[in-house]
Copies of this chain bind each other. A is one copy, B any other.
Amino acid sequence: MLTHINESGRAKMVDVGEKGETLRIATARGRIKMLPETFDRIMNGGVKKGDVLAVAQVAGVMGAKRTSDLVPMCHPIFLTGVDLTFTPDEAAAAIEIEAVARTVGRTGVEMEALTAVTTAALTIYDMVKAMDRTMVIDEIKLVQKSGGKSGDFVLEAE
């Protein structure tokens, strides 16, 4: 059953009022692949190291807070913490983005972690798109989740 669908077959915001408030943590990951010279410019070139990533970091945190504004059936949530990490993959000319979202609440924070990752990726894209139109945002997925009645989850082979 798709829980987000009501009796008329239309979308609703599922009621979570019965669920208990528990500590919930979700980790999502994604990557943005680019030309080697674009990668090089972000990591080393011309500008103070990491500035593009500093902006993407802020965007990711703010994006996580906007999740319920963007994703229609998502509950508004009191996020207690958000953090992002960027890991350069020089061989692939890619930057791996990981976001961890936390709350003490009635719903999970998977969507917040995923939105942090996509917003950070879009921000990196925006800041270097003048020099590279072939970038690809890729492999955005949930890698871990804890808290809530449905139990913990760890993506295999991670």
How many of chain A's residues have a CB under 8 angstroms from any CB in B? 92
B83 near A6 with CB under 8 A, answer yes
B1, A46: Cβ atoms closer than 8 Å: yes
Q: How many copies does the complex hold?
A: 6
- Within residues 101 to 158 of chain A, which ones have a CB less than 8 A from any CB in chain B? 102-106, 110-111, 114-115, 118-119, 121-123, 125-131, 133-142, 145, 150, 153, 155
Of residues 65 to 100 in A, which have CB atoms within 8 Å of B's CB atoms?
Answer: 65-66, 68-86
If A2-B47, A76-B65 touch, whether A17 touches B103 (CB-CB below 8 Å) is yes
The binding surface of chain A is classed by DSSP as mixed
Q: What CA separation (Å) do A71 and B75 show in the bound complex?
A: 19
Sample of 5 more A-B contacts, CB < 8 Å, known A13-B65, A65-B68: A2-B52, A16-B81, A48-B50, A71-B126, A133-B142
